[in-house]
Structure 1
């Protein structure tokens, strides 16, 4: 790791952002033998971004077989990353899906199409197996899901990238990307500059604030979707003591699954909290329950008390194995686009990498492969991730 120099230098690829997406891109690009510089406004896996902490869900359950298959591909990339880094980055837990809108039976059909092992259970059978939970519909169970250590994954990919020759620069906030005679000049807020043949923008929730200063063609700018950034709220609820019908925290570290609930009025997700909250409880949050902000620059880290009460009410109704008062809480960032697809697209020498809508973590190491395919000219990342002018309906804003 070095400090930026005062003179302009030239590299083949410059990656903006050292979260999961940027780290993955840097790893795969450096692995190819290219010279790569990664610039990060703070530190890798910063708590001001979307890749911090030790608890993200890895799951296969999607209604669209395209995405189920993509998770299968991502699992192979995770296996490669764990082997290359010598670190366990996904802890097995299994995952449950229930709720009328979540449609467990439809998810089961999609998993079956791709060949992912799963079970479709009745409410009674599910409650007998997981007495710490309550269900209001059929329940999908797939055992191969787990919990991603996001922060460790970022460092693992950056370590491998740097071992392959990449350079990481922290405290280096990109302010603009302008066309130059040999590519693009990326200038920081302090005036430091690097010229790169190609630039990969993996800025997460900071992307909307940077877009105006990206020198991209007007047609591509018009085709970019609306990016919505939300400051989400996450809560950690303690496991009930064994004498209260629960189990000890040590037992629960390995016996609680992740789950996603989508009902008519509320959508929740939960996973073991990991070291983020001393392994003492479950992390539970309402999907897209936080307030909308213009970009990550506007986050204030203040918990929404009404959101807290909605989550507490859900815990009281559906999670009897937990106390109903959180012992830890934090905010995090979601960046959404209208169709919930990831955006991986390129105009001339600038690539936008935005794995949106709270789903990017599970695909992290695969994202680097998709970016490499795109910038190397093969185009195998596919049309599904192209920018195509998606807009949020004004009535829903």
Structure 2
């Protein structure tokens, strides 16, 4: 019998396994694909990390996330994130609202008006109808390196990983919790489920249901002033709130000479369907139009490449961190809504502590399954 079985070896599950193994527990990490798969939400070279958030509940969380990334970086002797700053561009009123929230938590930031944006970042072109919020401590996580770091430390601590093990059902038993896969049966005292977009296939009766979405990411060639887009020169990651469209940009990290842009919404997808559809054309058109207006040094006509990933959304776009309502030996982490990777190191710590009934010095009420759902627009 295992002390804990973790279902799903993406960033949340891998960090949970790492934290449990650090505590000397006997832990099994189950993954339905191979560890290097690109079917979910944790693949790719980069993810934004930032203090700037529009929901106050996430600010204490991100402070602890930075600390946990530092600890994991030290364990593997590899810096897993880089600070190059975040520039969030939007309407003046929107930026003021964001700034007011950050001021309440003493989060360092500054506001740039349209012409000031271009003075600080000459490769960008925004007029007086735009303001920018600059978060100097933000940057990006080296996503694939971070995932491998958590998994390697998990194994070094005695953890066990089984790939190509699709979980079919989870059942309570007299001895603990039984997990049935297409190949085997496993039993543990506790189970942590971080199944990402597949959460509903395991639990279809939860008070909050998650919705998988297919997201399209595009890469665009930098045609001149190449050095301006290098994170080593403090080229910032960006969030662009353009009318009703939310986009994010990461400078040259994944591929040399290319920036990455994602539109922060997608189309519903049935993850049980093995034949994946392509992201819609507007995942190209929306970034292209923004690049044409505001990124004069980037070829906007056609992306160099497209990739896809999955979002897992709750109705209010807040996460799920809670015990199963019918079995407190099952802990659920999900609904990370396209913004969760940067929190992976601290989410893993929280889920591990929940599994071991350890004290958590954070207010997690916003992540409970029985919370009041207030529908809001998609947020970053």
TM score, norm. by length of structure 2:
0.90
Cα deviation 1:142-196 (Å, max 9, x = unaligned): 1111111112111111111111111111111111111122111111123x11111
1:195 to 187, 196, 201: 187
Q: 1:97-136 alignment to 2 at 5 Å? A: 97-100=88-91, 103-135=94-126, 136=129
**1:102 and 1:372 mapped to 2: Cα distance?**
40
Q: Report the secondary structure of 1:363's partner residue.
A: helix
Q: 1:294-305 alignment to 2 at 5 Å? A: 294-295=270-271, 297=273, 300=276, 302-305=278-281
Cα deviation 1:340-397 (Å, max 9, x = unaligned): 211111132111111511111111110111112222224525322111266697xx9x
**2:103 and 2:45 mapped to 1: Cα distance?**
30
**1:170 and 1:32 mapped to 2: Cα distance?**
23
Deviation at 1:316, TM superposition (A): 0.9
2:245 to 252, 258, 266: 266
Cα deviation 1:93-113 (Å, max 9, x = unaligned): 210112139822222222222
Whether the aligned pair in 2 keeps the contact of 1:185 and 1:193 (CA below 8 Å) is yes
Q: Report the secondary structure of 1:162's partner residue.
A: helix
Corresponding position of 1:7: none
| Residues 251 and 23 of structure 1, relative CA distance in 2, 3 Å threshold | closer
Q: Report the secondary structure of 2:202's partner residue.
A: helix
Matched, 1:86 2:77: yes
**1:128 and 1:204 mapped to 2: Cα distance?**
41
Cα deviation 1:83-138 (Å, max 9, x = unaligned): 11111211222101121398222222222222222111111111111122233421
Which has the higher mean CA deviation after the structures are superposed, 39-48 or 383-392? 383-392
2:317 to 330, 334, 340: 340
Corresponding position of 1:183: 176
Whether the aligned pair in 1 keeps the contact of 2:84 and 2:236 (CA below 8 Å) is yes
1:141 to 116, 128, 134: 134
Corresponding position of 2:346: 366
**1:392 and 1:117 mapped to 2: Cα distance?**
29
Deviation at 1:253, TM superposition (A): 6.0
Q: 1:178-257 alignment to 2 at 5 Å? A: 178-190=171-183, 192-212=184-204, 221-223=205-207, 225-241=208-224, 246-248=225-227, 251=230, 254-257=233-236
**1:44 and 1:105 mapped to 2: Cα distance?**
42
Give 1 or 2: higher helix fraction: 1
Corresponding position of 2:51: 60
> RMSD in angstroms over aligned alpha carbons?
2.2
Whether the aligned pair in 1 keeps the contact of 2:4 and 2:355 (CA below 8 Å) is no
Matched, 1:386 2:362: no
**2:231 and 2:114 mapped to 1: Cα distance?**
21
Q: Report the secondary structure of 1:97's partner residue.
A: strand
**2:55 and 2:244 mapped to 1: Cα distance?**
23
TM score, norm. by length of structure 1:
0.87
Counting matched residue pairs gives 368
Whether the aligned pair in 2 keeps the contact of 1:45 and 1:154 (CA below 8 Å) is no
Corresponding position of 1:292: 268
Whether the aligned pair in 2 keeps the contact of 1:102 and 1:262 (CA below 8 Å) is no
**1:120 and 1:147 mapped to 2: Cα distance?**
21
Q: Report the secondary structure of 2:75's partner residue.
A: helix
Q: Structure 2, unaligned stretches of length 5 or more? A: none
Which has the higher mean CA deviation after the structures are superposed, 299-308 or 51-60? 299-308
**1:123 and 1:79 mapped to 2: Cα distance?**
35
Q: Report the secondary structure of 1:65's partner residue.
A: coil
**1:297 and 1:29 mapped to 2: Cα distance?**
33
Q: Report the secondary structure of 2:117's partner residue.
A: helix
**2:200 and 2:252 mapped to 1: Cα distance?**
30
Whether the aligned pair in 1 keeps the contact of 2:70 and 2:79 (CA below 8 Å) is no
| Residues 362 and 90 of structure 1, relative CA distance in 2, 3 Å threshold | same
**2:85 and 2:357 mapped to 1: Cα distance?**
37
